[in-house]
């Protein structure tokens, strides 16, 4: 099913060309709507969507990403997310869903979170106004193709933006690794220092050194980046 798309993707050289390839993929996968949104480690964003521009402006203008259950779920998970299985019970999320449905997004959706090198995060989604029965058949038939397509699209986007889909891995000292590992396990700084038989001041030095090497904005960001790069023994 994806052979022709993957062949076309290999020939893509610019983000403009990638826009067209992604939009054509929605036809091949019989998706009413499709979105690919990537946020690089430096905060640079790239997005392609079949949603109406008015809805896109409304979503961005109201900063709906902070309450969108799909986005919030994908930030915490590694596996695909079926929208109907999320919690839409809150007042704000119910109102958001009604607005999305009115804008033609549909109440059925399937999103795939993708984590790339150096903290890059992307989201690949399809959505529809199908009935529950039709949507169940769709996801059963297309899940594998959607997952494959999402990762190939992300790989190509990284190659175009960075010249490669690989990133240089930071080199942490054993003590810096130990310090972040303790925090990743949920220990407080006092508990981490005690576990490593060092003072809290020394622990803070290791943490700040690791944060600098990982180009992280704060300690939480440093732990996340270290885990993403496979540097922690958790």
Domains in the chain (CATH in brackets) are 3-162 (3.30.450.80), 174-228 (1.10.10.10)
What pLDDT was estimated at residue 42? 62
Q: Are 48 and 61 in contact (CB under 8 A)?
A: no
pLDDT at 164: 44
pLDDT at 222: 85
Residue labelled with tokens 């019989």: 30
The Cβ of residue 214 has, within 10 Å, a number of other Cβ atoms equal to: 25
pLDDT at 123: 94
Residues 6+ apart with CB under 8 A from 39: 45, 120, 121, 122
CA distances from 58 to 51, 65, 99, 133 (A): 11, 11, 10, 30
Helix (H, G, I), strand (E, B) or coil at 43: coil
Distance of CA 70 to the CA centre of its chain: 11
Sequential pLDDT tens for the chain (234 residues) = 677 888 888 889 998 899 998 888 888 888 999 999 998 766 678 899 999 999 999 999 999 999 999 999 998 888 899 999 999 999 999 999 999 999 999 999 999 998 877 667 899 999 999 999 999 999 999 999 999 999 999 989 988 876 544 445 568 888 999 999 999 888 999 999 999 999 998 998 899 888 888 878 788 888 887 887 778 866
> What 3-state class would DSSP assign to 139?
helix
The pLDDT assigned to 166 comes to: 46
Q: Give the sign of the dihedral formed by CA 102, CA 105, CA 111, CA 117.
A: negative
CA distances from 3 to 7, 29, 91, 99 (A): 6, 12, 43, 36
């Amino acid at each position: 099913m994806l052979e022709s798309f993957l062949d076309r993707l290999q020939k893509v050289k610019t983000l403009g060309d990638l826009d067209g390839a992604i939009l054509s993929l929605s036809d091949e996968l019989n998706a009413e709507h499709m979105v690919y949104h990537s946020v690089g480690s430096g905060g640079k964003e790239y997005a392609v969507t079949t949603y109406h521009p008015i809805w896109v402006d409304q979503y961005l203008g109201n900063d709906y990403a902070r309450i969108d259950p799909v986005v919030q779920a994908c930030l915490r998970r590694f596996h695909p997310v079926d929208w109907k299985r999320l919690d839409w019970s809150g007042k704000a999320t119910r109102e958001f869903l009604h607005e999305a449905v009115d804008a033609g997004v549909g109440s059925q959706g399937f999103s795939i979170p993708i984590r790339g090198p150096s903290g890059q995060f992307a989201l690949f989604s399809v959505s529809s106004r199908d009935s529950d029965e039709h949507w169940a058949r769709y996801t059963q038939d297309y899940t594998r193709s959607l997952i494959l397509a999402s990762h190939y699209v992300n790989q190509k986007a990284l190659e175009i933006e960075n010249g490669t889909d690989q990133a240089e891995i930071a080199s942490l000292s054993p003590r810096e690794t130990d310090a972040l590992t303790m925090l990743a396990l949920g220990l407080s700084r006092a508990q981490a220092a005690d576990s490593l038989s060092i003072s809290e001041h020394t622990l803070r030095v290791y943490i700040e050194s690791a944060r600098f090497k990982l180009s992280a904005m704060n300690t939480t960001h440093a732990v996340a980046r270290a885990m993403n790069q496979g540097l922690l023994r958790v």
